[in-house]
Amino acid sequence: MTLSPNPASTANALALTSIRLYQRYLSPYKGFRCACAALHGGESCSAAVSRIIRSQGLRAGRKDIAAQFRSCRAAHDAILRGAPLAGGVRPQAGMQGVFCCGPIPIPFRCG
């Protein structure tokens, strides 16, 4: 008898692998930084979502994941209004592109 894989653990593994690939191959070259990390310091959205998935799973953690993206959107808006970044650095005039979700559609409502 063969056991079929658990869909939840498969989805979790796929999500975590996708995040790792993004962090390694795309994020260093995209030219902007996560708004939450830029504004508050600490972990980026990809690191936070990865942590949530590891601790709660993708399905159980979906509310916390959505909250992370809402927080990133709020940080993005604050940066555009001129809020000082982590370490007291002032954003440059016209600073754009720091909202993690940007033009990429995600399955969460962000604002």
pLDDT tens sequence across 43-72: 999 999 999 999 999 999 999 999 999 898
Q: What angle do CA 53, 58, 61 make, to 5 degrees?
A: 75
Q: What is the pLDDT of residue 46?
A: 92
- Domain residues for the domain of 78 are 8-88
Residue 12, both tokens? 């979790």
Choose among 81, 55, 72: nearest CA to 111: 72
In a domain, 67, yes or no: yes
Amino acid at site 105: P
In a domain, 41, yes or no: yes
In a domain, 61, yes or no: yes
Q: What is the pLDDT of residue 57?
A: 95
Residue 25, both tokens? 């191959």
End-to-end CA distance of the chain: 48
In a domain, 84, yes or no: yes
Sign for the CA dihedral angle at 31, 78, 69, 56 comes to positive
In a domain, 100, yes or no: no
The structural domain count of the chain equals: 1
**Integer Rg of the chain from CA:** 16
In a domain, 108, yes or no: no
pTM of the model: 0.77
In a domain, 27, yes or no: yes
* 63 vs 110, residue with greater confidence: 63
| pLDDT tops 80 at residue 92 | no
Digit-coded pLDDT (tens) for 8-33: 899 999 999 999 998 898 888 776 77
In a domain, 111, yes or no: no
Q: What is the pLDDT of residue 28?
A: 80
